[in-house]
Chain A
Amino acid sequence: MPELTRRHALAVAAALTAAAPLAAVPAARADDDGHHHGGTPGSPAAFDEIYKGRRIQGRPASGGGHHHHGDGGYGVFVDGVELHVMRNADGSWISVISHYDPVTTPRAAARAAVDELQGAPLLPFPAN
């Protein structure tokens, strides 16, 4: 059977997204009060919590050109594994785990992913 695996999927994805214009995102730091500096304009603040026994984190993407997928402005992680998220034009969010069901914040997308995963590990997103 051909190796039509996730590795292949990710290679295709990486090639496709690499062709898309990349936002030049400066290094961003979240303030304690939720404001932010840098990142995508209007980018949400960072978060870090344990939800249903799993650590979910979100933060405006740092620079360095290693964040190539989606709109590239914000990174979400479940137990340290990156979850692909995307911001819609109206400010709502989706993830690859819940791609047709927008929620209001990246934290809500992370929680929806944990709900959907039912304890299963997220597979690593490609190292670009």
Chain B
Amino acid sequence: MTVRKNQASLTAEEKRRFVAALLELKRNGRYDAFVTTHNAFIMGDTDNGERTGHRSPSFLPWHRRFLLEFERALQSVDASVALPYWDWSTDRSTRSSLWAPDFLGGTGRSRDGQVMDGPFAASKGNWPINVRVDGRTYLRRALGAGVRELPTPAEVDSVLAMATYDMAPWNSASDGFRNHLEGWRGVNLHNRVHVWVGGQMATGVSPNDPVFWMHHAYIDKLWAEWQRRHPGSPYLPGGGTPNVVDLGETMKPWNDTTPAALLDHTAHYTFDA
């Protein structure tokens, strides 16, 4: 059984294997297919039209399935690898071991945002940015530049306290847990972390930065924690909602799974705590 661990508690060997699996997926082309899929959905999901991956109730199950697909790809390279999660409410400094040269590398240099250390630095030659929206082919970051502070534990707690999963109009204007976690409304958790990292993480091609997976693994964990805190609160909407994925409806691009089938993560993985 896959156990997803806090990135801060990984051993040197676990970090090495995770990085090696990422580099292999990049080398063989499978990595970029995930970036492509994400960008396609982020450009296609609109508040008043069809919306599946973002700004909608299925933001959480869609990313759960997306991460499962990615984790399975990693495990096809190295069966011992699981996706770590980044608890940014605790590891909230640019000096976190997450950003050390033996793991993700640090922030970008001021001149052009280019990440200069770690396994994903362009100078290493192993991490070309192929699926992109502009001419730059190197990984970029600007940690803490777009917004000064990552969300605090108290802010996370305030969102976990929201008992209703989601509400009409089921988009970026909604009240409820999902949209506050996604960040279009309120204290802003998920969106703010993308902005804090900067570089490609702030764009539609955000999976170009490997921290994408660890950010979303933590968002996914917060969904699980919310479920434990509100065992009587269902996924909503339950049915008949135009442009929105209801509980029992299948999700693109897979078309073979529903939010209902993804509510229980323990069928696929557990967490270290």
Query: Which A residues are within 8 Å of any B CB, using their own CB?
Result: 1-2, 4-6, 8-9, 12-13, 16-17, 19-21, 69-71, 84, 86-90, 96-102, 116-118, 120-123
Listed by A's residue number, 16 A-B pairs whose Cβ atoms lie within 8 Å are A4-B29, A5-B130, A5-B131, A9-B131, A16-B41, A84-B43, A84-B133, A86-B46, A87-B47, A89-B171, A97-B133, A99-B202, A101-B202, A116-B203, A120-B136, A121-B134
Q: Which of B37, B202, B252 has the most CB of A within 10 A?
A: B202
Q: Is B118 part of the contact surface with A, judged by Cβ < 8 Å?
A: no
Let me know if B135 and A123 touch, CB within 8 A. yes
Q: Is B194 part of the contact surface with A, judged by Cβ < 8 Å?
A: yes
For A117, the chain B residues whose CB sits under 8 A away are 134
Let me know if A101 and B146 touch, CB within 8 A. yes
Digitize B130-143: 1 where CB-to-A-CB distance is under 8 Å, 0 elsewhere: 11111110000000
Known contacts A100-B206, A120-B135; can you find 6 more A-B pairs with CB under 8 A? A13-B43, A13-B44, A17-B44, A20-B46, A89-B169, A90-B172
CB distance from B32 to the nearest CB of A (A): 4
Contact of B172 among A9, A70, A88 (CB under 8 A): A88
Contact of B203 among A13, A21, A99 (CB under 8 A): A99
For A8, the chain B residues whose CB sits under 8 A away are 36, 131
Contact of B191 among A69, A86, A100, A118 (CB under 8 A): A100
Let me know if B134 and A13 touch, CB within 8 A. no
Let me know if A2 and B29 touch, CB within 8 A. yes
Chain B contributes a number of interface residues (CB within 8 A of A) equal to 48
Q: Is B85 part of the contact surface with A, judged by Cβ < 8 Å?
A: no
Digitize B228-270: 1 where CB-to-A-CB distance is under 8 Å, 0 elsewhere: 0000000000000000000000001000000000000000000
Let me know if A123 and B133 touch, CB within 8 A. yes
For A122, the chain B residues whose CB sits under 8 A away are 133-135
Let me know if A70 and B50 touch, CB within 8 A. no
Let me know if A99 and B204 touch, CB within 8 A. yes
Contact of A84 among B35, B183, B190, B204 (CB under 8 A): B204
Q: Is B49 part of the contact surface with A, judged by Cβ < 8 Å?
A: yes
For A101, the chain B residues whose CB sits under 8 A away are 146-147, 191, 194-195, 202
- Known contacts A4-B130, A99-B204, A118-B112: does B40 contact A16 (CB below 8 Å)? yes
The CA-CA distance from A90 to B252 in the complex, in Å, is 26
- Known contacts A9-B131, A90-B173: does B202 contact A98 (CB below 8 Å)? yes
Let me know if B172 and A118 touch, CB within 8 A. no
CB distance from A128 to the nearest CB of B (A): 12
Q: Is B48 part of the contact surface with A, judged by Cβ < 8 Å?
A: yes
Let me know if B43 and A6 touch, CB within 8 A. no
The CA-CA distance from A105 to B27 in the complex, in Å, is 40
Q: Is B8 part of the contact surface with A, judged by Cβ < 8 Å?
A: no
For A4, the chain B residues whose CB sits under 8 A away are 29, 32-33, 36, 130-131
Digitize B26-68: 1 where CB-to-A-CB distance is under 8 Å, 0 elsewhere: 0111001101110111111011111000010000000000000
